[in-house]
Amino acid sequence: MPQLAKKPTLSHPTAPSPAPPDTLRTQLPILTGARTISNTVHRMVYPFLPRMARGLGVDLEAITLAITARSALGLGGPLFGALADTRGRKAALLTALLILAAAMLLVTVWPTYPALFIALLLAVCAKLIYDPAVLAYIGDRVHYTRRGFAIALNELSWSAAFLIGMPLLGWLIARTGRWYAPFPVLGGLALLSAVLVWRVLPGNDTQDIERPSLIQGARIVLRHRPAVAGLLMGTLISLGNETIFIVYGAWMEDSFGLKVAALGAASVVIGVAELAGEGLVAGLVDRLGKRRAVMLGIGLNALASILLPVLGFGVGSALVGLFLFFLTFEFALVSTLPIMTELAPGARATMMAGTAAAHSAGRMLGALLGPLLFTGGLLINGLAAALFNLGALALLVSFLPQDERS
């Protein structure tokens, strides 16, 4: 069978060897906890947006402007993510956590709209550095045969931010009556995470290793056909998801007239579906094989995209459809990550930063396309999402190599 791509430009004769299991059992919870804090900061704006606007004395549009600026900054992810290739994984992780802490503490000492705007931009910069660095570190230290499990555990930070972080932040705001009450807590946790990362991660992750510059890393990725195909695959998967995600609230409101109750239940369903999807990746992907798991996830998500409108005959069945849709999407998306970490090992962090940017591009395109398609009904969105998934599946089968370890 053809092998996954070798490091095409740079050699790493003394690259980090896989870490002992006992060491990883200590490192992974710390790295995942730190990422949970980052993801909590990233997600908290949405449920608490009205409360923040009232506390600041501004309208909702002012807050959404900051969110829009944050999203636009996300497209420059490779510029930030490449730091882990050029300076080392540990340095990038520490830099990200210190930036995040600074952003939270800025709002703590200066709870104003300009401070919040700056803090949101700094926080997304931290996330754009941290996420590729942690995935690259796992790629360096965890053998490919167990990498799906390790990455899935780290991806639990998304559902944990939604199911644990949001209720705790809501409790803080309600108890104190201050919209900015979560910021000092999150800043302190980010600083604590930085200390823990500094203590438990080895300091020699890039010693004696030829490190690619930003330009070299980009060339390694863009000159390797499977890597480019993987980026396009990620774009199409996210595009299909966002085509439905952007309109599901309007669909439920139009269909059932239960805006608050139905959407509240849907939020819980989505959070549980994310958790279940990540759990399935942890339990199944390494056993099934990464490539086979992605094929299964994409195919099932295409089917769920078409099934969702069919299940819209009642609130309960619609929630079941949403659960299946987001479960299969999360399974497909997280299953791709171990493969992506191995497509360009010579520029692993740059590759993962490009992956994040590809997903952002897909979400932006889906946000534009979804409402236009919805004028013809959710079935049109579902069919479009299925087609995008099939396109992703075609790229996987045609360009991403099979490997006996997959």
Query: Residues of the chain with pLDDT > 70: what percent?
Result: 89
When pLDDT is cut at 50, 70 and 90, the band that residue 190 belongs to is: very high
10 belongs to a structural domain: no
350 belongs to a structural domain: yes
pLDDT reading at 42 higher than 70: yes
Q: Decide if 338 contacts 304 (C-beta within 8 A).
A: no
Q: What pLDDT score was predicted for residue 3?
A: 39
CATH number of domain containing 82: 1.20.1250.20
Could you please report the per-residue DSSP string of 36-75?
A: HHHHHHHHHTTTTHHHHHHHHT--HHHHHHHHHHHHHHHT
Among the three residues 150, 168, 200, which one is the final residue of a domain in this structure?
A: 200
pLDDT reading at 38 higher than 70: yes
User: In terms of pLDDT, which residue wins out, 11 or 58?
Assistant: 58
Q: Give the total number of structural domains in the chain.
A: 2
Query: What are the structure tokens assigned to 25, written together?
Result: 């059992």
Average pLDDT, the chain: 87
User: In terms of pLDDT, which residue wins out, 23 or 41?
Assistant: 41
- Answer yes or no: do 167 and 306 share one domain: no
pLDDT reading at 6 higher than 80: no
Helical ranges in 110-258 per DSSP H? 113-141, 144-160, 166-176, 182-200, 214-222, 225-245, 248-256
Q: How far apart are CA 396 and CA 341, in angstroms?
A: 15
Q: How far apart are CA 134 and CA 147, in angstroms?
A: 12
- Answer yes or no: do 388 and 272 share one domain: yes
325 belongs to a structural domain: yes
List the single range of 137-151, 248-262, 365-379 with lowest mean pLDDT: 248-262
Q: What pLDDT score was predicted for residue 265?
A: 64
What pTM did the predictor assign?
A: 0.86
- Answer yes or no: do 173 and 88 share one domain: yes
- Answer yes or no: do 268 and 341 share one domain: yes
* Sole residue written with tokens 């998934």: 389
Among the three residues 148, 168, 200, which one is the final residue of a domain in this structure?
A: 200
Structural domain boundaries, residue 102: 21-200
> pLDDT (tens digit, 9 = 90+) per residue, 143-189?
999 999 999 999 999 889 988 888 899 899 999 999 999 999 999 99
User: In terms of pLDDT, which residue wins out, 150 or 49?
Assistant: 150
209 belongs to a structural domain: no
Q: How far apart are CA 24 and CA 27, in angstroms?
A: 5
> pLDDT (tens digit, 9 = 90+) per residue, 57-71?
998 788 878 887 887
- Answer yes or no: do 123 and 242 share one domain: no
76 belongs to a structural domain: yes
79 belongs to a structural domain: yes
- Answer yes or no: do 111 and 246 share one domain: no
**How many CA atoms lie within 13 Å of 26's alpha carbon, on the beta-carbon side?**
11
List the single range of 13-22, 137-146, 256-265, 306-315 with lowest mean pLDDT: 13-22
- Answer yes or no: do 159 and 219 share one domain: no
